[in-house]
Amino acid sequence: MFHKVLIANRGEIAVRIIRACRELGIGTVAVYSEADRDAMHTRLADEAVCIGPAAGKLSYLNIPAIMAAAEITDTEAIHPGYGFLAENADFAQIVIESGYTWIGPSPESMRIMGDKVSAKIAMEHAGVPLVPGSKGAVKTVEEAQRVAKEAGFPVIVKASAGGGGRGMKVVHSEPALPAAFSMCKTEAGAAFGDDTVFIEKYLEVPRHIEVQVLGDKHGNIVHLFERECSMQRNNQKVLEEAPSAFVTEETRAAICAAGVAAAKAVDYIGAGTIEFLMNPDQSFYFIEMNTRIQVEHPVTEWITGVDLIEWQIRVAAGEKLGFNQEKIKMKGHAIECRINAEHPFKFTPSPGKIDLYHAPGGRSVRVDSAVYTGYTIPPYYDSMIGKVITHARDRQKCIRRMQRAIDELVITGVTTNRELHQRLLANPAFQAGDFNIHFLEKWLKQIHI
Ligand code: ADP
């Protein structure tokens, strides 16, 4: 096992990784920006190295500074967390070529999956269902028109290099296609330095269902069931669950098998997530793979009992997975609410000093956060400051437990989205499991004050 791991991240995920390392007896190195001197991850790690000014570009995305921190601390391996450099294949390659272990998949798997067109080609070969649309890139307006007619409107034009919900355009009818196609191509070139675009049929009322996978360096790949992530606003997940209340046993077996096939196709190592869109008839289609740990990993940890961060580290160190597919059983239901420092309905960020922080506790409540009383949330980063996760025998009990946990949560001094969760958890459609990816935005329009 490693003697020391550097965590190239901040916030709750850096804290989560430090905790896992400590339980494994591994020393930890935090890197921090000038704005994060008093951050929880800076305080909790065994060692901490300042890597630059507040702006992410100059610190958490500053590869030379991170590599220098690894060098002076005698680090053995680097964990990238999520966001920042986690899906940057060039960074992974630099880490490996500098003689450190990268806690994640190979740069090659990251490159294939990081490009949506090459990912779709690999998935087609692996027999994973794809959203109907173009075979690979679409180069001309004429080709776009032909593909769109074949798939049937509405369609979505997507940038191959897109991410984080950017670089996509929905087109409802043929006359609107040429302009949308050109605009998407131009914008993709400007935003991602790659103007490759492709076309998919736009699914009108899908759910977002994703499959967690875990692979080791000995060719073993398992799935850890699915997560329901349809509660989204601006392509940002707000609340996640495992398992999905909508997915039948038969569909579960099929989508999880597709997840494993997807991971096998790129010789995947470590923790990864295959995202699918699912129609009301339970037909499902691959949209992309995230080659990193995800924010919502705790719901999967809770229903399976598998510590995903621990296993990311173990497989990176060369260990075999300690279980096979048959050993992984699903127990009960888990929900995660993301706690953001922002207005609950207007979504304006609310950085500043936390006067009082009281985390909920009690049976089957987990809080992964990076804040404390007296902490000042800097304005430079993501507004997510923590996550409340609950587990129970069934979904209904889990919702009740989350309601009481969210009621117990106290954060004063800054505004949080606590009230959004309170209202959402009480919503009859949410409680009935009757929603798709458009539900939250539609509901917000109705309740907007
Ligand atoms: P990103 O990498 O930017 O997250 P994705 O391909 O994962 O892009 O898509 C993000 C979101 O966009 C999906 O969760 C879904 O809400 C919507 N979306 C993407 N493709 C389609 C599609 N073919 N039909 C309907 N919605 C889609």
Give the CATH fold of the 4-103 domain.
Rossmann fold (3.40.50)
> 77-79 and 4-7: which strand pairing?
parallel
Q: Specify the length of the chain in residues.
A: 449
Structure tokens at 102: 């990268």
CA of residue 197 to ligand 1 center, whole Å: 14
Q: From the alpha carbon of 200, which atom of ligand 1 is closest? A: 23
CATH dotted code for 132-201 = 3.30.1490.20
Query: Are the C-beta atoms of 262 and 128 separated by less than 8 Å?
Result: yes
- Residue type, position 75, single letter: T
Identify any residues that bridge with 158 across adjacent strands, giving them in sequence order. Answer: 168, 198
Give me 226's structure tokens.
């699915």
The best mutation among 202, 287, 440 to test binding of ligand 1, ranked by most ligand atoms within 8 Å of the C-beta, falls on 287
Cα-only R_g, the chain: 21
The domain spans of the chain are: 4-103, 132-201, 207-446
Tokens of 310: 């621990």
- The total of other beta-carbon atoms located within 10 Å of residue 74's CB is 12
Residue closest by Cα to atom 22 of ligand 1: 202
Residue 211: what are its φ and ψ, rounded to 5°? -115, 130
Q: How far apart are CA 210 and CA 125, in angstroms?
A: 20
Q: Write the residue with the smallest CA distance to atom 10 of ligand 1.
A: 165
Which atom of ligand 1 is closest in space to residue 229's alpha carbon?
A: 14
Is the backbone of residue 363 left (phi > 0), alpha (psi -120 to 50) or beta? beta
Q: How far is the CA of 360 from the centre of ligand 1 (A)?
A: 34
Ligand 1 binding pocket, CB closer than 6 Å: 131, 156, 162-166, 168, 200, 202-203, 206, 208, 235, 275, 277, 287-288, 437
Phi, psi (rounded to 5 degrees) for 30? -95, 145
Tokens of 417: 């989205």
CB burial readout 251-287, b (16+ within 10 A) else e = bbebbbebbbbbbebbebbbbbbbbbbbeeebebbbb
Task: Return d(Cα 208, Cα 227) in angstroms, integer.
Answer: 8
Q: Is 363 a catalytic residue?
A: no
235 Cα nearest atom in ligand 1: 11
Q: Which residues of 124-135 are buried (b: 16+ CB within 10 A; e: fewer)?
A: eebebeebebbe
Q: Tell me the H-state helices in 343-414.
A: 395-408
What is the separation, in whole angstroms, between the first and last Cα of the chain? 54
Q: Do domains 4-103 and 132-201 have the same CATH topology?
A: no
Torsion of CA 150, 151, 157, 160, to 10 degrees: -90
pLDDT at 448: 66
Q: Which residue has the least CA distance to atom 13 on ligand 1?
A: 235
Task: Round to whole Å and give the CA distance between 4 and 18.
Answer: 11
Looking at domain 207-446, which CATH architecture does it have? Answer: 2-Layer Sandwich (3.30)
pLDDT in tens, the chain (449 residues): 999 999 999 999 999 999 999 999 999 999 999 999 999 999 999 999 999 999 999 999 999 999 999 999 999 999 999 999 999 999 999 999 999 999 999 999 999 999 999 999 999 999 999 999 998 999 999 999 999 999 999 999 999 998 877 889 999 999 999 999 999 999 999 999 999 999 999 999 999 999 999 999 999 999 999 999 999 999 899 999 999 999 999 999 999 999 999 999 999 999 999 999 999 999 999 999 999 999 999 999 999 999 999 999 999 999 999 999 999 999 999 999 999 999 999 999 999 999 999 999 999 999 999 999 999 999 999 999 999 999 999 999 999 999 999 999 999 999 999 999 999 999 999 999 999 999 999 999 998 65
Q: How far is CA 227 from the centre of its chain?
A: 11
Q: Give the DSSP letter of residue 327.
A: G
**Of residues 10, 207, 252, 292, which has the active-site annotation?**
292
Q: How far is the CA of 255 from the centre of ligand 1 (A)?
A: 17
Atom 2 of ligand 1, nearest CA residue = 163
pTM of the model as a whole: 0.97
